[in-house]
Structure formats: C-alpha cells, structure tokens
Amino acid sequence: MRYNIQAQTVLALETSCDDSAAAVVRREEGQIQVIASNIASQDGMHAKWGGVVPEMASRQHLEALPFLVRQTLEESDLEITSLDAVAATVAPGLAGSLMIGSITARSLAALHQLPFLGVHHLEGHLASVFLSPDRPSPPYLVLLVSGGHTELISVNSFSDFNRLGRSHDDAAGEAFDKVARLLGLPYPGGPSIEKASEIGDPDKFSFPKGRVSRPEGGFYPYDFSFSGLKTAVLRQVEKLNKDREALPINDLAASFQKVVVDVLVERTIRCAIDKDLTSVVLVGGVAANKLLREVMTKRANDNGVNLFLAPKAFCTDNAAMIGAAALIRLESKLRSSSLELGIKPRMPLAEAGLLYQFPPPF
C-alpha cells in the first residue's frame, strides 16, 4: 500500500448518529484547513419522533453518503487519487450508522490504495478546536458537551487523554433535548431552547444544580447529573398545568438553560484551577450555545484561564473534525488503521489508540 509520510489531505466521513457528513481537510504549515465540508442533516425526519430512530438513520446514511462524497470531492477540486488518506468515525455511536461510514471509507481506501484511519468520535470533537486559527497546546482541560457525552478531559498530548469528570445520567445535550420535548419545542432541543430563551426570564424559576454524592460522603467535584433538573422542570410544568396557567415556555427554557450553563462553567473552571491547567477548551454540540460561550469566556477571564472555543460551525457533528483528528494521528504517530477494523458502539476515549493497532481489536 502507498504510504505517504507527508500525508496532508484527508477525506473524512462521519455517520455515527443522525447526520451524514463528508469533508476534505488539509494540513498546511501547522494549520488545518477545511477545503470542503458538507452535512446532510436528518433532523427533519427524526423531529417527527422527537429523537433519533436508529434504523431510519442508517438507511438515510446509505442513501446520502455517495452523493455527499461526490459533492465534497467536486467542491475540493480534487481527484480521489490525490488524497493522502480516507478516514471515518468507527466508535462510539449507533452500530448501523457507524457501519455505513466505515464501509464506505474502507472501500474507497482499498480501491484507491490509500491508508484508512478509523477515528474515535470524541477524538473528533476534541480535534474540532484545531479548525480554529487560535489553537491550544497541551496540557489543557476540555469540556466536551454533546448529545451523548458530558465530560471533563485533561489532554496531556494530542493522543493522551484522562477523564476527570463526567455525567452520571443524562448528557447535557440530552437534557436540552428532553426538556425541549417536555415544553413542546422542536428537536433538536438545544437550538430550540436557546431560541425560546432569548425572550425568557432566566431568574423566573429556580431549578437545582444536580450533584453526585460520593459513597464516603461529600460530592464528586467535577461530575454532573442532569436527570434531577429534568424532573424539576417536569414537576414545574405539571404544577402550572394543574393550576391551569398558560405555560411560560420562554421563562422555563431560559431558567433551565441558565442552570445548565452555570453548572458546566462552575465545574470546569473549578477543575482547571484545582488541576493547575491554565487552558480550557470547549467542544461538542452544546458548545454552540451562545450563553455557554459567553459565560465561559467571562469566567475564564476572571480566573486567568485561557479559553479556546471550537468554531461554532464545527461544534455539532461534522466530518471536518474527524478529518482533523485523522491528520493529527497521521502527524504524530505516522500510523493508519487496519482495513479489517470494524465498528464499536461503545468505547471510552482513553482506548482510542487501539484503533491504530495491527491486528485491529475488533
């Protein structure tokens, strides 16, 4: 197989959940440039059900991906033969969805004698900050907030991650989605709640900041719990309904959003200070939230912490971030993945290095 040590241009696919995405990214003089990036969103289809229907998601990937790949290569003005590698998300995510992206990328790599990289989805989110001109250098602390994960991760080198905090129940994005549904706002919930909050009073309702108790007493300082908050919003809605009051959707949304943002910011800054990490990185779908970006910026400034935000356009799932992660792996390890690598619906980020082993772990 051709193996280019100067690998610089990658075609990346992302199909771990409900969006099909393809991108071409290039590493040039230490910067990662997005040459083309396309997303075929399935939001409209899943909105009817209030969440993602896995079987429908995989079928939709199967239909969308060939056209998305062709469009992305055309926009890049590149022949597939001038690429240096093909990458796809292989873990974690919905099995059927992951399979479509992985088989497409592996077929292209095999046909065109290109290296293949199987990328961990969360490593992709972590790499999204490198799509910004303002790039952090390790060590730093990452708050990764998406629909499936809420984690505080210390990054010691580009491929050495250590989880310091996590949610014990719902992820922050999941809480946004569930509360939006409860308030009758459309899926995905994050952007709907953000919009409804614009004209709402964030101090109208006082909702709890969930904490996770330690068996030996006290609380885990960097962990999160959002299920109690979701229940508190539900109880408030039930009470208002019982009293036959019109639901103040905007105030409920704004009060909910405020408490989620406060909790995320407080615990992140606390963790950075305690662990002597002077840089914080914000990534994942919820990182697109305007209030979260504003409050985190302010609190980081107040505490002398350097903040790096993933570009808003690359916070929610996209393939450019998967390409960025692949470029960083190629640069640091000069390694690709086996063409025999499968997919894995559940896999902790700390195990991402296994995806570059020969023989592959699955």
Site string for Zn ion, 104-133 (x = CB under 5 A): ------------------------------
Least separation in angstroms between residue 283's CB and ligand KG4 is 8
Q: If binding is defined by CB under 5 A, does position 317 make contact with Zn ion? A: yes
Query: In one letter, which amino acid is 302?
Result: D
In the bound state with ligand KG4, the residue whose beta carbon lies nearer, of 115 and 188, is 188
Helix (H) or strand (E) holding 46: helix 43-47
Q: How far is CA 66 from CA 60, 107, 111, 176, 325, in A?
A: 11, 12, 15, 32, 22
Nearest CA-CA partner of 295 in 180, 229, 197:
197
**Residue 104 binds ligand KG4 (CB under 6 A):** no
Report the residue number, 315 or 326, with the smaller CB distance to ligand KG4.
Answer: 315
Dist CA 357 CA 342 (whole Å): 12
Does 146 bind Zn ion (CB under 5 A)? Our answer is yes
Lay out the site mask for ligand KG4 across 225-264 (x = CB under 6 A, - = otherwise). ----------------------------------------
The tokens of 92 are what? 């974690």
Nearest-angstrom CA–CA distance, 172 and 120:
20
Sequence-separated (6 or more) residues with CB below 8 Å from residue 206: 255
Q: Tokens for 10?
A: 């990658």
By CB under 6 A, residue 289 contacts ligand KG4 = yes
> Of 138-197, which residues contact ligand KG4 (CB under 6 A)?
146-148, 173-174, 176-177, 188-191, 194
Q: CB under 8 Å to 306, separation ≥6 — which residues?
A: 136, 278, 279, 280, 300
Question: In whole angstroms, what is the distance from residue 306 CA to residue 75 CA?
Answer: 35
Give which of 77, 80, 99, 73 is closest to 88, Cα–Cα. Answer: 99
Question: Is residue 37 a contact point for Zn ion (CB under 5 A)?
Answer: no
**9 or 197: CB nearest ligand KG4:** 197
Looking at the Cβ atoms of 190 and 210, the one nearer to ligand KG4 is 190
Q: Residue 151 or residue 317: which is nearer to Zn ion going by CB?
A: 317
3-class secondary-structure state, position 224: strand
For the CB of residue 172, give the shortest distance to ligand KG4 in the complex, in Å.
7
Q: Shortest distance, CB of residue 42 to ligand KG4, whole angstroms?
A: 12
> Which residues is 152 bridged to in the sheet?
143, 165
**Residue 84 or residue 170: which is nearer to ligand KG4 going by CB?**
170
Partner touching 286 among ligand KG4, Zn ion, none, CB below 5 to 8 Å by kind: ligand KG4
Q: Does 284 bind ligand KG4 (CB under 6 A)?
A: yes
Residue 151 binds Zn ion (CB under 5 A):
no
Cα distance between residue 336 and residue 90, in whole Å = 13
Paired strand residues for 154: 141, 162
Among 285, 321, 322, 328, which residue interacts with ligand KG4 (rule: CB under 6 A)?
A: 285
According to the binding rule CB under 6 A, does residue 311 interact with ligand KG4? no
Contact residues toward Zn ion (CB under 5 A) are: 146, 317
Contact residues toward ligand KG4 (CB under 6 A) are: 17, 146-148, 173-174, 176-177, 188-191, 194, 284-286, 288-289, 316-317
